[in-house]
């Protein structure tokens, strides 16, 4: 199993550009999450999904959108990139929402200039 | 007050030392507690869960004090490979099982 994979690993965007961060898991997990991690800060939940076709906002959803058309994929969309969105983005999955272990992808480093 | 607070560190310790990390949480209704490890520029990985009775995994011991809303992680006989950031994680069992990550405590183990 590859676990949770994310692409790209690193990206530089100009203000106002858009992009999609890809996330795929092969563990047949129902629950998937997007976090952002700023330097010296804890992970903040952006969006989460409890299954295909179902998504919900986390703590910091503004400026982002998600979709979940399949169990495996959970892309994160930035429509109008802003410098405040410079961060490291982690996708994670778990067997259940109450489950103990969240498995994280390797992260996407995004720089918005 | 932050929902989950940790000593920011960094902790600089020699190999073989014992080091303890502390974490406090504000929501008394929190139900599940974990320690994750994050290496530099890598993703977080589960180190261990924290149970009310306390639990041990080799050189690592985790304890929970619900009355004081306090979690600890003890590392004995530190190794160079223990150098990382340790994240305290607290989860509720209502409201979508909200998971809160602490900012982490950085540990450097030196030879």
Q: What pLDDT is attached to residue A98?
A: 63
DSSP, res A109:
E
The Cα–Cα gap between B93 and B99 comes to 9
Task: For chain A, give the percent of residues with pLDDT over 90.
Answer: 83
- How does pLDDT run across A48-90, given as a tens digit for each residue? 998 999 999 998 999 999 999 999 999 999 999 999 999 999 9
* CB-based contact A40:B105 (threshold 8 Å): no
- For the cut 80, the answer to whether the pLDDT of residue B66 exceeds it is yes
Q: How many inter-chain contacts (A to B, CB under 8 Å) are there?
A: 42
Retrieve residue B28's tokens. 């008394």
> Rounded to the nearest 5°, which phi and psi values hold at B80?
-55, -35
Contact status of B99 with chain A (Cβ, < 8 Å)? yes
The whole-angstrom distance between residue A14's C-alpha and the CA centroid of its chain comes to 20
Find out whether the peptide bond into A8 is cis, omega within 30 degrees of 0.
yes
pLDDT at A62: 96
Determine, for residues A90 and B43 on separate chains, whether the beta-carbon distance falls below 8 Å: yes
- List phi, psi (to 5°) of B31: -120, -30
Who has greater pLDDT, B100 or B78? Answer: B78
Is pLDDT of A43 > 70?
Answer: yes
Probe site for chain B from A25, A37, A40, A43 (most B CB atoms < 10 A) = A43
Task: Determine, for residues A90 and B34 on separate chains, whether the beta-carbon distance falls below 8 Å.
Answer: no
Q: Tell me: the pLDDT tens digits for B34-63? A: 999 999 999 999 999 998 888 999 999 999
Q: What is the mean pLDDT of chain A?
A: 93
**Per-residue model confidence (pLDDT) at position A55:** 94
| Cβ-defined contact of A100 to B99 (cutoff 8 Å) | no
| pLDDT > 90? residue B91 | no
Q: What is the pLDDT of residue A99?
A: 59
Tokens 């949770």 sit on residue: A4
Residue A32, strand partner residues: A49, A93
Give the rounded percent of residues in chain A with a pLDDT score beyond 70. 96
The residue-averaged pLDDT of A9-36 equals: 96
pLDDT digits (tens, 9 = 90+) for B5-37: 999 889 999 999 999 999 999 988 888 899 999
- What is the Cβ-side half-sphere exposure of residue A100, based on CA atoms within 13 angstroms? 10
* Higher pLDDT, residue B92 or A99: B92
């Amino acid at each position: 199993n590859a676990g949770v994979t994310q692409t790209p690993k690193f990206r530089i965007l100009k203000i106002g550009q858009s992009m999609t961060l890809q996330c795929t898991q092969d563990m047949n997990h129902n629950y998937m999450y997007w976090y952002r991690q700023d330097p010296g800060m804890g992970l903040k939940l952006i969006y989460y999904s409890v299954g295909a076709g179902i998504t919900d906002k986390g703590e910091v959803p503004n400026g982002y959108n998600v979709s979940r058309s399949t169990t495996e994929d959970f892309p994160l969309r930035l429509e109008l990139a802003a410098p405040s969105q410079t961060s490291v983005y982690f996708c994670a999955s778990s067997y259940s929402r109450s489950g103990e272990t969240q498995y994280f992808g390797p992260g996407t480093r995004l720089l918005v200039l | 007050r932050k929902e989950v607070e940790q000593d920011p560190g960094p902790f600089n310790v020699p190999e073989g030392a014992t080091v303890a990390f502390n974490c406090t949480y504000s929501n008394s209704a929190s139900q599940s507690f974990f320690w994750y490890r994050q290496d530099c520029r890598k993703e977080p990985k589960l180190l261990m869960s924290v149970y009310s009775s306390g639990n041990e995994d080799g050189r690592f011991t985790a304890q929970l004090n619900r009355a004081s809303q306090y979690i600890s992680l003890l590392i004995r006989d530190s190794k160079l490979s223990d150098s990382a950031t340790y994240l305290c994680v607290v989860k509720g069992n209502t409201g979508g099982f909200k998971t809160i990550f602490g900012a982490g405590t950085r540990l450097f183990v030196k030879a």
